[in-house]
C-alpha cells in the first residue's frame, strides 16, 4: 500500500461509507431508495434542491403511503446559499372548530373519525414548489406514474400494515386497496394505486384549491360518514403553510438552528444548551440533558407519530429537508378515502392535549404540538449541515446524540448516522442501547437509567438523514441511516 492510501477496516467505516453519497452537482437522501433516484432525476433535469426534495417527497406518498401523504402534515427546513440562516416551513393543519368542545367533554380520541384534522401537507408541498425551478407537473410526474403504472410494495409497508390491520378493518368495512381481499400485501408485490394517481393529478391541477375541490369533498364525506368533526370551514381557516424564522442556540462555537414551536425543535435546543465545546462529550451528560428536556416536553407538548423524510442539496449549496407524516399509528386515523387511496392522518386526535387551558389544547385553528423537527448547523467556515430523523418520541434524543457527536469532533456524516444510539421508552422510562458504545459509556448509561436493555449494532429504528454543503471545496453530500432501507445518491 502506498503512502497516503486510505483503507477501510471493519464494519463501521464500511457502513459509514456505504450509507453516504458525494458529488459536485447535488445529492438526495430518502427513506425509499426509488424516491432518492427520483430526486436526483430532478437535479439532472435542471431543478434545484426544492424540486429534488419535493419530487422525492411526492414519490414517498406513493411508495410509503402508511407513513405520509396528501392527507397528512409536514415541516421543512430550507437553507439557500445566500442566506445567513435557514427558514422553517410549517404545514401542520389546525384544529377543527368542533374539537375543543369534544376535548372538554373528555371525548377526544387518538384514532377514528374525530381524530382527523385539517391536512396541512398539500399547502406545504405547494410552498416548496414555489421555490423550485421546474413546473409542478414535471416534479409530480414520477409519483403519478408509479401510482398508476405500479411499483413494488416495500417490506416496511407490509410490516406497518400488519401492525395496523385491526384499526383499518374497523373503519373500512367495505375493504381497501391496501388490504386486497382483507390481506396484507406481500413485500415485492407490484401494486397500483389509481385513486392516488388521480388525487395527485388533482393536486397539480387545483393547487391552492385542492381541498376546495373533488378530493376535499371526498375527505369530508368520509369523515362525516363516520361521525367526525371536520367541515369545509375548517379547510378554509386551518389549512395553511407558512415560512417562519428558526429557533437557534449555541452548539459549542457553532450556531444550531431548529424548526420552531409547535415542532420539537425548541426541545432539542433545550437538551443541548448546557453542552460545551470539548474533545469528547460524555454520554451520561447527553443522557441527563435529554431526559431533562423530555421531562419539560412532557409537560408542554405531545405527539408520537409515523413519519418519513427526504433531504436534498444542490450544487449551489442550497439545503432542503422535508419531514412529512400521517401521525401515529402508521395508518393514521384508520380512515381511508378509497376513491383516492388517501389515508387520513390523526394529528388532531393524537397531538393535542385534552386539558382545558393547556397551551396545546385544541382551540379552533391552533396547530398541535408535533415531534416533527429538523436542525441545521453553521460552521466551521462556510460548511453547513442539516438533518432530521423520524422516530416519534425518540426524534429529539436521536438528534441530540448525533449533534453531541458533532460537537465532540466527528464530522463525517456517514459515521454520524452509523454511530451507536440509545432510545427511550416513553411508557416505562427504559432505555435500549445498541452495541458499539464503549464499556465505560455503557456503565455510565446503566448508572443513569433503569431499566437498560441492549440490542445488536444498528438494532434500533432510527432513520436519520444528514446533508452537507461544503461550498469552499465545491462538494455536497447526503447520508441515509443504515438502520432503514433508505438511500443516498449524488451526481
pLDDT at 6: 47
Which helix (H) or strand (E) covers residue 384, if one does? strand 384-388
> What Å distances lie between residue 3 and 6, 10, 116, 258, CA to CA?
9, 20, 62, 42
Work out the end-to-end distance of the chain between its first and last CA atoms, rounded to an integer number of angstroms. Answer: 29
Question: Nine-digit cell at 381?
Answer: 467556515
From the list 235, 238, 236, 241, the residue with the least C-alpha distance to 259 is: 241
**Distance (Å, whole) CA 44 – CA 315:** 11
pLDDT at 299: 57
Return per-residue pLDDT of the chain as tens, 491 residues: 333 444 555 788 889 999 999 999 999 999 999 999 999 999 999 999 999 999 999 999 999 999 999 999 999 999 999 999 999 999 999 999 999 999 999 999 999 999 999 999 999 999 999 999 999 999 999 999 999 999 999 999 999 999 999 999 999 999 999 999 999 999 999 999 999 999 999 999 999 999 999 999 999 999 999 999 999 999 998 888 999 999 999 998 899 999 999 999 999 999 998 776 444 567 878 888 888 887 776 655 554 456 899 999 999 999 999 999 998 767 999 999 999 999 999 999 989 999 999 999 999 999 999 999 999 999 888 899 999 999 888 999 999 999 999 998 899 999 999 999 999 988 888 999 999 998 988 998 998 888 999 999 999 989 999 999 998 889 999 999 999 889 999 99
From the list 393, 387, 388, 373, the residue with the least C-alpha distance to 305 is: 393
**Distance (Å, whole) CA 125 – CA 79:** 17
Question: Nine-digit cell at 366?
Answer: 391552533
pLDDT at 164: 95
From the list 140, 163, 134, the residue with the least C-alpha distance to 56 is: 140
pLDDT at 8: 52
**DSSP structural state of residue 361:** S
pLDDT at 373: 96
Amino acid at each position: 500500500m502506498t503512502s497516503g492510501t486510505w483503507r477501510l477496516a471493519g464494519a463501521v467505516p464500511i457502513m459509514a461509507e456505504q450509507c453516504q453519497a458525494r458529488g459536485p452537482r447535488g445529492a438526495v437522501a430518502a427513506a425509499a431508495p426509488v424516491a432518492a433516484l427520483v430526486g436526483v432525476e430532478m437535479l439532472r433535469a435542471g431543478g434545484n434542491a426544492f424540486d429534488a426534495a419535493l419530487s422525492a417527497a411526492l414519490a414517498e406518498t406513493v411508495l410509503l403511503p402508511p407513513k405520509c401523504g396528501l392527507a397528512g402534515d409536514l415541516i421543512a427546513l430550507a437553507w439557500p446559499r445566500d442566506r445567513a440562516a435557514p427558514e422553517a416551513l410549517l404545514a401542520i393543519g389546525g384544529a377543527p372548530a368542533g374539537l375543543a368542545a369534544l376535548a372538554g367533554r373528555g371525548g377526544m380520541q387518538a384514532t377514528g373519525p374525530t381524530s382527523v384534522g385539517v391536512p396541512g401537507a398539500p399547502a406545504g408541498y405547494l410552498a416548496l414548489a414555489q421555490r423550485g425551478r421546474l413546473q409542478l407537473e414535471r416534479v409530480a410526474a414520477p409519483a403519478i406514474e408509479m401510482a398508476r403504472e405500479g411499483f413494488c410494495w416495500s417490506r416496511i409497508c407490509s410490516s406497518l400494515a400488519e401492525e395496523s390491520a385491526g384499526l383499518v378493518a374497523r373503519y373500512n368495512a367495505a375493504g381497501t386497496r391496501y388490504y386486497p381481499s382483507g390481506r396484507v400485501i406481500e413485500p415485492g408485490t407490484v401494486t397500483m394505486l389509481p385513486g392516488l394517481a388521480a388525487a395527485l393529478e388533482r393536486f397539480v391541477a387545483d393547487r391552492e384549491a385542492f381541498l376546495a375541490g373533488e378530493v376535499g369533498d371526498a375527505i369530508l364525506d368520509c369523515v362525516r360518514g363516520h361521525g367526525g368533526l371536520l367541515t369545509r370551514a375548517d379547510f378554509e381557516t386551518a389549512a395553511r403553510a407558512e415560512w417562519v424564522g428558526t429557533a437557534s442556540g449555541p452548539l459549542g462555537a457553532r450556531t444550531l438552528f431548529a424548526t420552531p414551536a409547535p415542532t420539537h425543535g425548541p426541545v432539542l435546543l433545550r437538551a443541548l444548551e448546557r453542552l460545551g465545546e470539548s474533545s469528547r462529550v460524555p454520554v451520561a451528560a447527553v443522557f441527563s440533558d435529554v431526559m431533562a428536556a423530555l421531562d419539560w416536553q412532557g409537560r408542554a407538548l405531545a405527539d408520537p407519530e409515523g413519519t418519513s423524510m427526504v433531504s436534498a442539496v444542490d450544487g449551489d449549496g442550497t439545503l432542503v429537508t422535508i419531514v412529512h407524516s400521517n401521525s401515529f399509528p402508521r395508518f393514521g386515523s384508520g380512515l381511508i378515502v378509497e376513491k383516492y387511496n388517501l389515508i387520513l392522518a390523526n394529528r388532531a386526535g393524537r397531538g393535542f392535549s385534552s386539558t382545558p387551558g393547556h397551551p396545546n389544547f385544541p382551540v379552533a385553528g391552533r396547530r398541535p404540538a408535533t415531534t416533527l423537527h429538523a436542525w441545521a448547523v453553521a460552521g466551521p467556515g462556510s460548511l453547513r449541515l442539516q438533518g432530521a430523523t423520524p422516530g416519534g418520541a425518540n426524534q429529539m434524543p436521536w438528534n441530540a446524540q448525533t449533534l453531541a457527536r458533532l460537537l465532540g469532533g466527528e464530522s463525517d456524516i456517514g459515521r454520524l448516522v452509523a454511530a451507536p444510539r440509545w432510545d427511550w421508552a416513553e411508557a416505562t422510562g427504559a432505555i435500549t442501547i445498541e452495541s458499539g458504545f464503549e464499556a465505560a459509556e455503557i456503565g455510565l448509561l446503566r448508572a443513569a437509567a433503569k431499566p437498560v436493555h441492549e440490542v445488536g449494532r444498528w438494532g434500533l429504528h432510527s432513520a436519520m438523514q444528514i446533508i452537507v454543503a461544503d461550498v469552499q471545496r465545491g462538494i455536497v453530500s447526503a447520508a441515509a441511516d443504515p438502520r432503514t432501507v433508505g438511500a443516498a445518491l449524488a451526481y
